[in-house]
Amino acid sequence: MTDNFEIINFHSIDDIRGKLIAIEGESSIPFEIKRVYYIYDVEENVERGGHAHKDLHQTLIAISGSFTVNLDTGQNKSSIFLSRPDEALWLKPNTWRTMSNFSAGAVCLVLASEHYLEEDYIRNYQEFLEFVNH
């Protein structure tokens, strides 16, 4: 059983004017990017997420500030602290995730492999356990 996630490091193009990171689908990250969204203005002590996906791949990037991603495969649990714009957390399908501990001004950029499809979500934890254990 794998952990269902990987860390991807991006090459930052730095010069005296600042830094630039370019992300290309199927190259910098292993899937085609069909959707981009971002989460911001999260109040202190708020938890987001609380679901898994059946087929969707996503990468989460702390474009600004920091937050913690809590992961659960049904067998393994881990927590990943994201605080670097040059680092992405690649979440594979069948991973229950919550995001917490958002710093003030944090922005979570998400690159997703599919368009939004509510049917791909598992939003009930018991249903998730049944789904991954069968």
Q: Which residues are catalytic?
A: 51
Residue 49 or residue 74: which is nearer to ligand TYD going by CB? 49
Piece of the chain touching ligand TYD by CB under 6 A; list 4-12, 19-27, 33-41, 56-64: 33-41
Contact between 49 and ligand TYD per CB under 6 A: yes
Strand locations in the chain, DSSP E? 5-9, 13-15, 18-20, 35-39, 48-53, 58-64, 67-72, 77-82, 87-91, 96-100, 107-112, 121-122
Residue 29 or residue 56: which is nearer to ligand TYD going by CB? 56
Contact between 116 and ligand TYD per CB under 6 A: yes
User: Is residue 113 within 8 Å of residue 37, measured between CB atoms?
Assistant: no
Give dist(CA 117, CA 112) in Å, integer. Answer: 11
Q: How far is the CB of 39 from ligand TYD (least distance, A)?
A: 5
Q: Are strands 35-39 and 121-122 parallel, antiparallel or unpaired?
A: unpaired
Q: How many residues form the binding site for ligand TYD (CB under 6 A)? A: 6
Residue 81 or residue 116: which is nearer to ligand TYD going by CB? 116
